A and B are shown apart, each in its own frame.
Chain A
Amino acid sequence: MRIEVDRDRCSGAGQCALTAPELFDQSDDDGTVVVLDEQPLPALREKARRAAALCPNSVIRLV
């Protein structure tokens, strides 16, 4: 699994950073998503899926 994000469409709601803080943070400049780990270990994949499903702008893609 690899995490891809489209920061242009991110509105910084923070759902990802709340749900999977191991994988996502928010930029200090504009609050948009920062991926901390693009290739999550198996133990974190479920969290990555949950973060993607909660994103209000469908910014996170898991490929």
Chain B
Amino acid sequence: MCGTCGCAHQTITLEQKILARNDELAARNRDWLAQRGVLAINLMSSPGAGKTTLLERTARDLGLVLSVIEGDQETALDASRISAAGCKVVQINTGAGCHLDAAMVAGALTELDPPALSVLMIENVGNLVCPALFDLGETARVVISSVTEGDDKPAKYPHMFARADLVLVNKTDLLPYLDFDLARHAADIKRLSPAAQILEVSAVTGSGMADWYSWLLRPPARG
């Protein structure tokens, strides 16, 4: 009975996590991937930071058949580019949705069926806010921060960078034309995620990409 007005209402204590369903599915994805020895990277950035270009170059340089889940609100443009680079790809169009969730990834995994000991790239929806909250079951989180976006992005979008295992500072070939403070950018990332690694790359010229490949082939264990 309601303690306030004596009516028949009743309060039921739930103490349940709101994202419990997503977290359960993410744990299932993580088990599924671990059983096959698949390394799954959740690749996040703002739109236009160079996620697809980085994946194209990575696949071509390493000669690896990557399995790729492409998340975009609309179109299969990125899936076509990735497919042309020789990768197996599934496009997810989220429509009004601003991020991928664990259920979408579970569906895509069934369709992609990545081979044992392979690399799965999950290219999240271009957005520095919403994808940060949703565990997909990935092995590691990689955030691309491109220098054309400005060096204040870690400070402005802290949730995204606080959960990053690796930050790739992309488009470094454009640094001579920009007022971008690499030291300030790195210091802000370290304040948010002391354990995060930072690598400077250009997916267009290939500069620094060897460090990314070394990381990818031997990523640190997640804490």
Are both chains from one complex?
Answer: no
